[in-house]
């Protein structure tokens, strides 16, 4: 049994049971599917890679870990790929016992009867939701009590979200590999980008490199924005030609063994920043470096966001984008025009990883940073191309710089430091790679 599953069991309420489903294949069009991606919590707890499985965790049982899986089926396997089957689930994935997933619904009454608490996350798998409700419904109207269904339902992500916040040494190794692969891909992009290339070609060279290095693919859809496409936060069309004199913003991360990296670099398509581009870049870089230093034990997530707003508001004033007292501008949220997102997020199996940002949601008491957490640091400035109030030289410039930082006992470790963000070094890399 995986350490994560052991810890999960230790955190469960007395007399409880958990139902944790795997992901399903998702239709892309007609009868073809998107590439399969396992559910992160299911993967975290079981490491089982196949779709449609269901893990049932019953700590009071002698065999607490049951895995319902797709049965072996020579015909299906010839068409759609190998299956572990019930033997493989036990032998290769440490399940205490395994049954065909086709049995799950009939087993449910037996599994849930007499339990006080059910851990299940409603609303992710609507089909399974309704099958579970089908189990509960008749129990509610039965006069002669013959079955005792759980009276309390708890979302298991309350446990897994908290666990996933603190990365183990093994997880950090995998995250470092995801970070290294993406960092190298970004350096490759710096070397290869030329005016006249299409954004899609840059996307393909990054992703080919990631796959080549053992990543399963990208951790999220890459953002490859040339010119003012960089001012669209989630620009993923990636199909426009790159122009001489513009910047390119690349936000691309790799997925390795399920773990994400998330890197953004912004650099000049022709290899040389203009003065105006450099002015904006220097402001964002200065804020990013300061926010990395801020990502340490003792600070909270909320404080870091406020710090980034303060620094970027100052930067906007320095650039002539905003005028007035910093305090007033912050109160009016004037910065939102040019900086409209968070300065970072948890990172792990998901790019925007699980785990709460507040210790006390109601009181809005923000979580303090602690060793083992991994966060992105990604301030940006985005000046809309049609913003008449901005100095003309800045219009259409979008700059974001993003690194992945591990909080340690006595500071932090930048997992993505291997790809430079120093503007002079970027220019040198680009020049060295040859320009036209
Ligand atoms: N690439 C998504 C993000 O930076 O949050
Ligand atoms: Mn990010
Ligand atoms: Mn990103």
Question: From ligand 3's centre to the CA of 342, what distance in Å?
Answer: 11
Kindly name the residue from 70, 301, 304, 345 that is annotated as catalytic.
345
Ligand at shortest distance from the CA of 347 = 2
Question: Of 224, 366, 356, 262, whose CA–CA distance to 304 is shortest?
Answer: 366
Q: Is 262 in the pocket of ligand 1 (CB under 6 A)?
A: yes
Between CA 215 and CA 130 the distance in angstroms is 36
350 lines ligand 1 (CB under 6 A): no
Respond yes or no: is residue 31 known to be catalytic.
Answer: yes
**Helix extents (H) in 84-240:** 85-91, 104-112, 126-141, 157-165, 169-192, 199-212
CA of residue 325 to ligand 3 center, whole Å: 31
The CATH code of the domain at 3-162 is 3.40.350.10
**230 and 271 in contact (C-beta within 8 Å)?**
no
Count of Cβ atoms closer than 10 Å to residue 411 Cβ? 13
Three-class secondary structure of residue 329 per DSSP: helix
403 Cβ inside 6 Å of ligand 1 = no
Domain with CATH 3.90.230.10 in the chain: 166-432
Give span(s): CATH 3.40.350.10, the chain. 3-162
For ligand 1, mutation pick of 262, 377, 400 (most atoms within 8 Å of CB): 262
- Ligand 3 centroid – CA 222 distance (Å): 8
Q: Among 182, 218, 219, 220, name the best residue to mutate to test ligand 1's pocket (greatest count of ligand atoms within 8 A of Cβ).
A: 220
pLDDT of 223 reads 98
> Which ligand lies nearest the alpha carbon of 375?
2
* CA atoms of 351 and 218, how far apart (whole Å): 10
Alpha-carbon torsion angle 121, 125, 131, 133, nearest 10:
40
Which pLDDT value is given to residue 142? 64
Choice among 279, 402, 403, 404 that is catalytic: 402
What phi and psi, each to the nearest 5 degrees, are found at residue 362?
Answer: -65, -45
Active site includes 345?
yes
| Residue 357 near ligand 1, beta carbon < 6 Å | no
365 strand-pairing partners: 360
Q: What does the pLDDT profile of the chain (436 residues) look like in tens digits?
A: 899 999 999 999 999 999 999 999 999 999 999 999 999 999 999 999 999 999 999 999 999 999 999 999 999 999 999 999 999 999 999 999 999 999 999 999 999 999 999 999 999 999 999 999 999 888 777 665 677 889 999 999 999 999 999 999 999 999 999 999 999 999 999 999 999 999 999 999 999 999 999 999 999 999 999 999 999 999 999 999 999 999 999 999 999 999 999 999 999 999 999 999 999 999 999 999 999 999 999 999 999 999 999 999 999 999 999 999 999 999 999 999 999 999 999 999 999 999 999 998 787 899 999 999 999 999 999 999 999 999 999 999 999 999 999 999 999 999 999 999 999 999 999 999 987 6
The answer, yes or no, to whether any atom of ligand 1 lies below 6 A from the CB of 203, is no
The catalytic position among 31, 126, 140, 151 is 31
Decide if 203 is catalytic.
no
Query: Per CATH, which fold does 166-432 belong to?
Result: Creatine Amidinohydrolase (3.90.230)
Give the whole-angstrom CA distance, residue 303 versus residue 386.
32
Residue 264 CA: nearest ligand 1 atom is 4
Tokens of 274: 């203009």
The whole-angstrom separation of Cα 407 and Cα 167 is 10
- Catalytic residue, candidates 41, 228, 251, 255: 251
Distance CA 51, CA 36 (A): 8
Q: Which residues surround ligand 3, an ion (CB under 5 A)?
A: 251, 262, 402
Whether residue 186 lies in the annotated active site = no
Compute the distance between CA of residue 71 and CA of residue 99 in angstroms, rounded to an integer.
8
What number does the ligand 1 atom closest to the CA of 402 have? 4
Q: Which of 89, 14, 76 is nearest to 50 (CA)?
A: 89
Using the mean position of ligand 3's atoms as its centre, give its distance from the Cα of residue 403 in Å.
8
Q: Is 351 in the pocket of ligand 1 (CB under 6 A)?
A: yes
> In this structure, are strands 152-154 and 117-119 parallel, antiparallel, or unpaired?
parallel
> Residue 407's pLDDT is what?
98
The question of whether 352 is a catalytic residue gets the answer yes
How far apart are the C-alpha atoms of 378 and 376, rounded to whole Å? Answer: 6
- State whether the beta carbon of 378 lies less than 6 angstroms from ligand 1: yes
345 CA: nearest ligand 1 atom = 5
Check if the beta carbon of residue 374 is closer than 8 Å to that of residue 383: no
Task: Measure 351 CA to ligand 2 centroid, in angstroms.
Answer: 7
- CA dihedral of residues 252, 255, 261, 264 (deg, nearest 10): 0
Cβ-contact 369, 411 below 8 angstroms: no
Burial 159-198 (b: 16+ CB within 10 A, else e): bbbebbbebeeebbebbbbbbbbbbbbbbbbbeebbbebe
CA distance 328 to 113: 60
């Amino acid at each position: 049994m995986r350490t994560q599953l052991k810890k999960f069991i230790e955190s469960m309420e007395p007399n409880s049971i958990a139902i944790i489903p795997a992901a399903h294949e998702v239709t892309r069009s007609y009868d073809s599917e998107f590439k399969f991606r396992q559910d992160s919590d299911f993967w975290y707890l079981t490491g089982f890679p196949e779709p449609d499985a269901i893990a049932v965790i019953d700590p009071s049982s002698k065999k607490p870990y049951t895995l319902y899986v797709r049965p072996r089926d020579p015909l299906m396997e010839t068409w759609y790929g190998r299956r572990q089957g019930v033997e493989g689930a036990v032998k290769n994935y440490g399940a205490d016992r395994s049954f065909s997933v086709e049995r799950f619904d009939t087993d449910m009454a037996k599994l849930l009867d007499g339990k006080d608490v059910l851990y299940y996350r409603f609303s992710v798998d609507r089909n399974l939701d309704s099958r579970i409700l089908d189990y509960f419904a008749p129990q509610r109207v039965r006069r002669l009590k013959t079955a005792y269904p759980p009276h309390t339902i708890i979302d298991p992500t309350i446990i897994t979200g908290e666990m996933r916040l603190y990365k183990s040494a093994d997880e950090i190794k995998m995250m470092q590999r995801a970070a290294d692969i993406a960092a190298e891909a970004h350096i490759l992009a710096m070397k290869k980008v030329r005016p006249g290339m299409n954004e899609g070609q840059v996307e393909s060279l990054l992703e080919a490199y990631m796959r080549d290095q053992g990543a399963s693919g990208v951790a999220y859809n890459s953002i490859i924005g040339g010119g003012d496409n960089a001012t669209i936060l989630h620009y993923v069309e990636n199909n426009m030609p790159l122009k001489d004199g513009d910047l390119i913003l690349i936000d691309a991360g790799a997925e390795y063994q399920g773990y994400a990296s998330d890197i953004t670099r912004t650099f000049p398509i022709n290899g040389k920043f203009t003065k105006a581009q450099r002015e904006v870049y220097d402001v964002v870089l200065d804020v990013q470096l300061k926010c990395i230093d801020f990502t340490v034990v003792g600070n909270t997530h909320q404080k870091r966001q406020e710090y980034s707003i303060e620094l970027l508001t100052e930067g906007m004033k320095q650039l002539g984008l905003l005028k007035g007292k910093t305090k007033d501008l912050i109160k009016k949220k004037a910065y939102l025009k040019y900086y409209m997102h968070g300065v970072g997020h948890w990172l792990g199996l998901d790019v925007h990883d699980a785990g709460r940002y507040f210790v006390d949601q109601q009181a809005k008491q923000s979580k303090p940073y602690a060793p083992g957490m991994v966060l992105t640091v990604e301030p940006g400035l985005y000046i809309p191309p049609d913003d008449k109030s901005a100095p003309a030289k800045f219009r259409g410039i979008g700059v974001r710089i993003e690194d992945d930082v591990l909080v340690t006992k006595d500071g932090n470790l930048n997992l993505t430091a291997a790809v430079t963000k120093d503007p002079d070094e970027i220019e040198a890399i680009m020049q060295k790679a040859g320009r036209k």
